[in-house]
Chains A and B, each alone.
Chain A
Amino acid sequence: MRRSFKISFLLIVMMICVLSGKCRAGDRFIRNSAFKGDRQIIVTFAGPVSDVWANDISNFTVNEKPDPDIMLEIEDSTLSLDKTSLVFTFKDPLNREVPHCLTLKQIIADGRSQGTATVTLRKNYLAHLFSVFLGAVLIQNFVFVKYLGLCVFLGVSQKKSTAVGMGITFTIVIVFASMLSWFLYRFVLKPYHLDFLQVIVFIGLVSLTVQGIDTVLRKVNPALFKSFGVYLVLVISSCIILAVPLMLAANDYDMFESLMLSLGAGVGFLLALFLMASVRERLELANVPTPFRGMPIAFIITGLFALSFMGFSGMSLF
C-alpha cells in the first residue's frame, strides 16, 4: 500500500517537471510573457532593451495561433522605467481562451541585435490542467451535475467504508480505461475512420481493464484484492466509465487533459459517494416516513445535493 503511494507520488512529481518545462518561453532573451487584463500583453526581457526599438509598433506582430493571417491591431507599446518589460495595448479586447503568437523583430538591446523572437502566449498549461481536473470534480461533477452512474452510486453509498473502497477502485479503473481508449481512439479509430465502432471498442477496453486489474491484484496483493475485489465487477455497470471515453473522443482532448479529466471524474465520483454515505449513515437514525424509506429518500437527498452543486456552475478558476 505504502509503496504504491510512493510510486504514484513520484509519477506526479515527474509529470509536473515535464509540464513546467513545456510552458517556458521560446526564446532565451525573453524571460516571460503573459496576458494582463482584457487587452494588454506584458513581455519581460532578460536585460534592458532599446527604447527606440520598443516604441516602434511595426516591430511587433500578434496573432491568434489558429489564425496566422489576422494580425491584431496594436494601439500602443510602453516600456517600463528599467527598460526590461514592455506592455502592449490592443485596440480590441483579446480572446484569452486561444493561444496567441507574438513576434518581436530584431530585438535591440545593449546596442546590438538579439535576433527575432517568436513567443507563444497561452493560459498557463498547468493551471489549465488543474481547472480541467477541478471542473470534472466539482463544476461538472458526473453524478450531481451530469446525472451519470446513478445505479452504482445509489447501490454502494450505504456505508462510508464501502463508499471509499468503491470510489478508489473506480478512480483507478477509470484512469486506466480512459487512457487506453484515448490511445486507441487517437491512433487507430480516428485515422482509419472507424468512429462508429466507438461504443463496442470502449466497452471492450473497459472490461479488459477490469479483468486485467483483477488478475494483477489477485496475484500481487491478495490482501488488497480481498478488500477491493468486490467493487471491480460493479465498476462496469456504471455509465461514467463509458461516458468519459466517449467525451474524450468527442472533444479531442490531448493526453494530459484526458488524464486529468478521467482522474477528476474518478475523484468526483468518490466525493459524491462519500458525501452521500455520510448522509445516509445519519439517516438511519432519523424518523423517515414509511413510504419514503430506502430509495425515495435517497433520491430526494441526491436532488438536494444536485441543487447545491448547481452553485458551482459558472465558477471559472483561471
Chain B
Amino acid sequence: MKEIVKIIIGLTISCLFAGVVLGGVYVITAKAKKHNQYLDVQQTMTKLLGYDKVVPPDLRFNHIHRYIIENGDCTCLGYMLPVKREGDEGCALLVIDLQGRLAGRYKIDIQPEKALNEQDRKQALEKALDGEIVTYADTAVIATLGGRRTAYLLAGKFPGFKGFIHVMPALDSGFRILGLEILEHSEDPGLGGEIEQVYFKNQFKGRDLDHLKYLKVIKQPLSKEYKIYLEAKKPEEIYSNADLAEIEKKYQNSDIHALTGATISSRAVTRGIKNIVKKFIYRIRILDRVISENKIPATF
C-alpha cells in the first residue's frame, strides 16, 4: 500500500513538472510562432507580386474572410471585409444568399489588422450575429496599390500524392495567373517534391480562366528552350523583345508538362489550382456586383 502511494506521488510530481515546462514553453513560443508565420506569409505575398526587396509604401493587402452561415435550413455565405468608416477603418460582414443577393449587412467591431487572428475574428463575429452557426471557409487577399486593385492572392490546399499540398496562387486584376507558390507539401524529395521547382510553377503563369478550365497534364518532357525561359528570373533581360514575344506565343497554349516520375503530383497541383481559381473568380464577381450595387465603402 505504501509503495503504491509512493508511486502515485512520484508520477504525479513528474507529470506536474512536465506540465509546467510544456506550458511555459508553449506560452513563449506561441506568440513567436504567430509572428513568424505572419512575416512569412507577408513575404511570400510580396514576392509573388514581384517585389523582391523594395516594397512600395502604398501597397496594401485587404483580407476577405469567407464564412458559411447556416440559419435554420437556409444557407448563406458571409464575407467579412475591411470597410472605410469616418476617419477610421473597420470590418463589415456581408451576407449573400445562394442566388447572389445581399441578405444582410452587419457592422463588426474589429480592426482589419486584428481580424487576421482567427480567434479574435470569431469572437467579434459571434458578438455581431447571435444564434447562427458560422463556419470559416477561406481567406482571399486583394492587393491594392494606392487604392487600385493590382492582384488577388488566394490560398488553398488539396490532396497530393502523399499528403496535402498548400498553395498560394496569385491572379492579376484581369484574372490571369501571375504566379504560384507552394507553401507546404509532403511529397517525396526528388520526385513529387520537384513541384517546388521554378520551371514547374512558372508553367502556370499567364493562363486565364478560359484556358485554365481545359488545362491538361501531358507526359512529354519540357523542351530545352522552354525550360530556360521558365527558369529565367527576368526573361526580359535575357531575350530581346521579339524573341520573348515569339517564345511566349509558341508556348502560351501548351499544356502543363508533368514532372519526371511525378505525374500524380503534377496532376494534383494542376487540378487543385484549377478548382481554387475557378471558384474564386465565380465568387469575386458576385461580391463585386453586390458591393457596387449597395455602395459599400470597401477599402479596395
In the complex, is A directly touching B at CB under 8 Å? Answer: yes
Residue of A nearest to B18 (CB): A200
Is the CB of A318 closer than 8 A to any CB of chain B?
Answer: no
Does A192 lie at the interface of the complex (its beta carbon under 8 Å from any beta carbon of B)? no
Mask for A68-97, Cβ within 8 A of B = 1, else 0? 111000000000000000000000100101
Q: Which residue of A lies closest to B162 (CB)?
A: A140
Whether A313 lies near B98 (C-beta < 8 A) is: no
Query: Which residues of B lie under 8 Å from residue A187 when comparing CB positions?
Result: none
Q: B264 interface residue, CB < 8 Å from A?
A: yes
Looking at the complex, which of B197-205, B241-249, B275-283 is the stretch in contact with chain A? Answer: B275-283
Contact A70 B263 (CB under 8 A): no
Interface residues of B in 176-230 (CB under 8 A from A): 213
C-alpha spacing A249/B19, complex, angstroms = 21
Could you tell me how many residues of chain A have their Cβ less than 8 Å away from some Cβ of chain B? 16
Give Cα distance in the complex from A313 to B137, angstroms.
32
State whether B77 touches A69 (Cβ < 8 A). Answer: yes
A110 beta carbon closer than 8 Å to chain B: no
Count, chain B residues at interface, CB 8 A: 24
- With A69-B98, A314-B263 as known contacts, state yes or no: A196 contacts B22, CB within 8 Å: yes
A95→B271 contact, CB < 8 A: yes
- For the complex, give the distance between the alpha carbons of A67 and B282 in Å: 11
Give A251 to B286 CA distance when docked, in angstroms: 32
Cross-chain contact of A67 among B26, B161, B164, B279 (Cβ < 8 A):
B279
Does A1 lie at the interface of the complex (its beta carbon under 8 Å from any beta carbon of B)?
A: no
Cβ-neighbour of A314 out of B163, B264, B271, B275 (below 8 A): B264
Name B11-31 residues within 8 Å CB distance of A: 18, 22, 26
Q: Say whether, besides A92-B213, A95-B271, A70 and B22 are in contact (CB < 8 Å).
A: no
Query: CB of B37 within 8 A of chain A?
Result: no
State which residues 29-74 of A face B: CB under 8 Å: 66-70
Nearest-CB distance from B285 to chain A (Å)? 11
Residue from the list A66, A70, A97, A251 in contact with B282, Cβ < 8 A: A70
Whether A68 lies near B279 (C-beta < 8 A) is no
Q: Is B18 within 8 A of A69, CB to CB? A: no
Given contacts A313-B161, A314-B263, contact A70 B18 (CB under 8 A): no
How far is the CB of A301 from the nearest CB of chain B, in Å? 21
B36 within 8 A of A: no
Are the C-beta atoms of A196 and B26 separated by less than 8 Å? yes
B68 on interface, CB distance cutoff 8 Å: yes
B43 within 8 A of A: no
A200 touches B263 (CB 8 A): no
| A220 in the interface (beta carbon within 8 A) | no
Q: Could you tell me if B263 and A68 are in contact, using CB atoms closer than 8 angstroms?
A: no
Give bound CA distance, A313 to B263, whole Å: 11
B75 interfacial contact with A, CB 8 Å: yes
Does A197 lie at the interface of the complex (its beta carbon under 8 Å from any beta carbon of B)? yes
> Which positions 101-154 of chain A face chain B at CB distance < 8 Å?
140
Are A70 and B68 touching (Cβ within 8 A)? no
B282–A68 CB distance below 8 A: no
CA distance A19 to B107 in the complex (A): 45
A residues in contact with B282, CB < 8 Å: 70
Kindly state the separation between the CA atoms of A197 and B15 in the bound complex, as whole angstroms.
Answer: 12
Bound complex: CA A67 to CA B96 (Å)? 13
Chain A hits for B279, CB < 8 A: 67, 70
With a cutoff of 8 Å between Cβ atoms, the chain B residues found around residue A314 in the complex are: 161, 263-264
- Which residues from chain B contact A69 at a C-beta distance below 8 Å? 77, 96, 98, 100, 283, 286
| Shortest CB distance A62–B (Å) | 13
Cα A68 to Cα B137 in complex, Å, equals 12
Does B75 lie within 8 Å of A68, measured CB to CB?
Answer: yes
Contacts A70-B282, A314-B263 hold; do A200 and B22 have CB atoms under 8 A apart? yes
Q: Which of A68, A140, A197 is the one whose CB lies under 8 Å from B68?
A: A68
- The 5 lowest CB-CB distance pairs between A and B, nearest first, are A68-B75, A314-B264, A69-B77, A69-B98, A196-B26
Residues of B at the A interface (CB closer than 8 Å) are 18, 22, 26, 68, 75, 77, 96, 98, 100, 137, 159, 161-164, 213, 263-264, 271, 275, 279, 282-283, 286
**17 A-B pairs in the complex with CB atoms less than 8 angstroms apart:** A66-B137, A67-B279, A68-B68, A68-B98, A69-B77, A69-B96, A69-B98, A69-B100, A69-B286, A95-B271, A95-B275, A140-B162, A200-B22, A251-B164, A313-B264, A314-B161, A314-B264
**A200-B18, A250-B163, A314-B264 given. 5 additional CB < 8 A pairs?**
A69-B96, A69-B283, A92-B213, A95-B275, A313-B161
